[in-house]
Chains A and B, each alone.
Chain A
Amino acid sequence: MIELLTSHYLYVLMFALLGLGIYMVIASENLVKKLIGVNLFQTAIFLFFVAMAYIDVDGASAPIVPHEGTPGEVMVASPLPQVIVLTAIVVGIALTAVGLALIIRIYSEYGTLREDTLREVRADE
């Protein structure tokens, strides 16, 4: 168990962050914090991709590919996971921007960022 934790701690961290992120989305009443939760959730996935490019798990074949020039002798890390994370970060930033723009509009219309207050205000109208 301890050995698994020391060698695979990044995966443990990843699932902790996933849980934390989804918990924030569900439990927090503040819209901005919900969006931060979504971000945390996505960050956990970035960590997952980076970790799998870094840890050589029990024969997992993902990150390591034979070198083109000297096959069989040199193994190189595939750049694919890092490229994926770069792309996913860009997507995440775009989503955060759209989300924050929507939150600004909601705040200027209703004057609140809290979901429970928002529900009351909308029920009154």
Chain B
Amino acid sequence: MAPFDKNDDSVVVIIGTGAGGGVLANELAQKGVKVVALEAGGRYLPEDYINDEWESFGQLAWLDARTTSGSWRVAKDFAGLPAWIVKAVGGTTTHWAGASIRFQDHEWKALTTYGPVEGANLLDWPIDAAEMAPWYEKAETKLGVTRTGDRAGLPGNNNYLVFEKGAKALGYKEVHTGRMAINSADYDGRMACQQTGFCFQGCKWGAKWSAAYTDIPAGEATGNLEVRERSHVARILHNEAGKVTGVEYFDKDGTLQMQKARIVCVAGNSFESPRLLLNSASSMFPDGLANSSGMVGKNYMRHTTGSVYAIFDKPVRMWRGTTMAGIVQDEARHDPSRGFVGGYELETLSLGLPFMAAFLNPGGWGRSFTTALDHYENMAGMWIVGEDMPQATNRVTLSETKDQFGLPVANVHFDDHPNDIAMRNHAYQQGMAIYEAVGATRAFPTPPYPSTHNLGTNRMSEKPEDGVCNRWGQTHDIANLFISDGSQFTTGAAENPTLTIVALAIRQADHIAREMSAGNI
């Protein structure tokens, strides 16, 4: 297919090709809309993925400079790596573990449900569960989510079997191998999970849904989608009327290019999307694009996370099999009697020995640390995913540090809210109790890793003064500029965000195509 002309101002430009941008690109292409998707990373497919944690990290991770500040431990232990996300076609859908659960109904209305929380900037989403239900169903069908539709659950691996037995011993009821975008049987031309482990390193079987080998090639096959790899967008351009007109980007050779556009959709994740809006400041928009509210970059959320690992007197071999096919949902409810608002999920997780050494207790050394690793084979692990509080001071700003193109990088500032800390401590207690119920001899409340769920820095709001975009992800200030990734999240809910990002992208594609047809944008 011939590339679209750089002066073609009828195309939709999408920045980023992950769960948001990649899905939006395909959905628009399927409707006949011409799309140029600009992706900062290269293209890697299942045959390229590597069953080796550090080597894969070097291949896929976003390693361009970022800086950190605030009291979160990540700023100390991984000062230049606030997030463990991907720079590649398909974005972090190559790396994600596949957990695909819907928001609970009340989570769309966090402010109404929880009431005001001191120090938190809670807000209701301008959309609700009923409105999202059909889009969730489309997303589940696209991703082939297990335990939805007529799709069976995945079988439990060793790590799950330990987790399940402990959870049930504690009286938990909602315990299963998860709703996963990992095939339990052949689906959509992709094979079933082979229990290889290495879900985080890109699924070499293609059993896990990733935009890299589903939506992206499907969109390209229509002839309406051109993906330009290794194209790093520097700035979004606008005209005197305040409408965006295109983007400037550095191509694979580092040469500055310009692509005109009818509409620009930003889907670079919750660090790069606000960074780009801020770096696009002009005399007309001195605080950055779509930032009349001052909310661009604010209310960064990363989920209240942490892990619990435990050692048993016999082998578990947790690394074998699907990394995250196991969940306890009983604690996801909103029940302030626990000492915090919102809830959390517990999900199985394992790391290989190299990453366990890096993440079990970053900075730790000596025998307290090494005797834990000595029993790596006897270890089981789980991850905590809970709703964290949006705070205006948790934010992405432009750093003094510049990237390889001379552009200011994102600084990510984060402090835990007291609600986050209370929730994490509760989850640590419950997680350790699960393992103690099956005879753990030692348990480890492990601190959060560099963030994988990055949300909220261009949040959706009913009123323009409360956020950056409206119920369609359309920015309040600029009608032909959209937010299409997790940065549009008003609040984070307790669930892994990808399914919701995909559902919002499918819905947004429908809206954009309709508005284009109507001549409104």
Real complex partners, A and B? no
